Amino acid sequence: MAFSCLLRSTPAAPLVEASRSDFSPSPSDRFKVSSVSFNSLKSISGTSIPTGSSSLQTCSGRSIQPIKATATEMPPTVLKSRADGKTKIGINGFGRIGRLVLRVATFRDDIDVVAVNDPFIDANYMAYMFKYDSTHGVFSGTIKVLDDSNLEINGKQIKITSKRDPAEIPWGDFWGQYVVESSGIFTTVEKAASHMKGGAKKVVISAPSADAPMFVVGVNEKTYKPNMDIVSNASCTTNCLAPLAKVVHEEFGIIEGLMTTVHATTATQKTVDGPSRKDWRGGRGAAQNIIPSSTGAAKAVGKVLPELNGKLTGMAFRVPTPNVSVVDLTCRLEKSASYEDVKAAIK
């Protein structure tokens, strides 16, 4: 018969008794049970919850006898659905980033977007905005509106919700394990943690964060630890600058540097001259001006590359283009380097 059991293990007593229990922990730690005392089952896998000096662990299997087993830790793995092994993703905020995340995800076979939440647009408008993109063109796949709560993209159903409070989004009901927080609002650990109240296990903030660990792929992603449930993917400029600064610093040593980004128009700018009390220049029409602006990208590099903390500063020019930006990095180096040396290092 099928059973569900609760195991207790401590450093002093790794051999544990198993008994029946209905218990639903958060799968934060994984373990494997071996050396099972009955003949029909060789191992059991499950999850554990730290409880002081010991841990409570649940597992499942088939047996008609009581068991005695030894619990050992297993390396943490990417959470996957029991059904098809794909990583299940939810998206909060269906703006520029949210829509592009979904576009990329629809053409990957290792992940599924299972739900999208946005309190400001309904399913029909979502489908329209997703299919027709002024910058990236028409979506090449198929999209259908099934009803007010469901879209079908490339034959796969996606749940649509419209909650203002992330804590009210039932990610767990949709198997949404990872949430892309792309609303631009919930960018701190405390605010992003609200997603976990609805069943999410991990949150990736698609913007810089004041307190969440920040990662740039190719720079510091290897420092990620499985217990980091909320992380930031930094900004677009930081993702451009950090890999460049990393190579230059490792090869030649950066004493100090100035970054200038020539940045495409963003949604926060005005289409025509309008009020902008905090940033007067920012109130000028985006299509008519090259607008000097501040950027936090240089400081953010210090978070992903601590050895450069305080060594870089930067500024931005907002230019009247809809897409594509460029970063210019000027540095004073510890080692002398020719133009050819720098090119060779970056290549």
What are the residue numbers of the active site?
236
Contacts of 120 (CB under 8 A, 6+ apart): 162
Token readout for 65 is 């006898």
The Cα angle at residue 181 between residues 175 and 185, in degrees rounded to 5:
140
Q: How far is CA 34 from CA 76, 79, 206, 234, 258, in A?
A: 17, 22, 40, 42, 57
Residue 148 φ then ψ, to 5°: -65, -20
Cα 200 from Cα 59, distance rounded (Å): 21
Contact 45, 36 (CB under 8 A): no
Closest residue by Cα to residue 199 from 285, 90, 308, 71: 90
Q: DSSP string covering 53-77, please? A: TEEEEEEEEE-SS--EEEEEE----
The DSSP code for 147 is E
What number of other Cβ atoms are within 10 A of residue 254's Cβ?
21
C-alpha span between 180 and 240 (Å, rounded): 20
Q: How far is residue 229's CA from residue 177's CA, in Å, rounded to a whole number? A: 11
Shortest CA distance to 118 belongs to which of 180, 204, 199? 180
